Chain A
């Protein structure tokens, strides 16, 4: 079910030190990758929110956020690519594909450019 959301942040971990952060109000998406020495943002854009709860970049990349009825688990220990929320990246351009964090092989899902994560606790 595509959702309409209030201000919130969602975290999709793709590996132990890297992932995607989606914020809904104001809408933005950030890819980050780190290690034990630190973390860098590899991609960050503001997004426009559509009435259906789909978030759009100015280059036409769409980020579809969906709340799931059942939690999806691809990694029991660290929760990598796991959670109650699904994020699909539609019309990904070369930059997005190139800058997406590396997805840990043991936590791969069934569909390309589809990731699972959690909603962060409100501030």
Chain B
């Protein structure tokens, strides 16, 4: 038996007896965590910098102590795989890596993950970061089991990584890809239940 936890833009977000939270939405692409998602002039990043924030409120890139986006540098290709680009961040932080190391963030280009809307995340006490998620394409019944690795706007239902989009055969381009069909994509978050890939945090 599902109960309505909250509504986003009039669309219900449900919670079932097993505690899982689910809703239907589109599949907008979140490029965050990909080390060439954002960059300064002279680079060719995958997404518009404004999708990572603006001066004083950078939500999608690492900033220095001066509050400006950090530019990847150095010869360590694992720590800085895209020198000259900004370092994009996910809300999920991989343990064991420091702030300016790309491995600290979940790479949207290669890791399928789902994004939880901020308001949904705050609606129940259970942890969402790292939790198990099942995303279903209701047009084909194809399912993806993945982790929740980022937080999205409270006003939007339906967001996932570039790799998740590619899994479903969608265009993974964060500027024009994904799916805007709001009745097609079902997201079920098992908050409090760890995914296979990432521990809860």
What is the interface of chain A, defined by CB distance below 8 A to chain B?
9, 11, 13, 15-17, 19, 33-39, 76-79, 102, 104-107, 120-123
Contacts and interface: CB of A to CB of B under 8 A. Distances in A.
Interface string B49-77: 11101100101100000000000000000
Which of A9, A36, A121 counts the most chain B CB atoms within 10 A? A36
A104 B57 CA distance: 12
A85 to B, nearest CB: 13
Given A38-B122, A39-B154, A77-B174, A15 B9 contact: no
A77 B178 contact: yes
Contact of B57 (A13, A35, A79, A120): A35
Contacts of B29: 77
Nearest to B9: A120
Given A38-B122, A102-B54, A17 B48 contact: no
A78 B28 contact: yes
B171 to A, nearest CB: 10
Interface of B: 7, 9-11, 28-29, 48-51, 53-54, 57, 59-60, 91, 118-119, 122, 150-156, 174-178, 180
Given A36-B151, A76-B175, A122-B10, A106 B91 contact: no
A66 B21 CA distance: 36
A19 B7 CA distance: 18
A77 B150 contact: no
B182 to A, nearest CB: 9
Contacts of B175: 76-77
Given A15-B50, A104-B48, A106-B48, A34 B174 contact: no
Nearest to B91: A36
Contacts of B118: 17, 34, 36, 38-39
Given A34-B118, A76-B176, A106-B48, A13 B54 contact: no
Given A17-B59, A35-B57, A35-B59, A78 B50 contact: no
B51 A11 contact: no
A39 to B, nearest CB: 6
A121 B51 contact: no
Contacts of B50: 15-16, 104-107
A34 B154 contact: yes
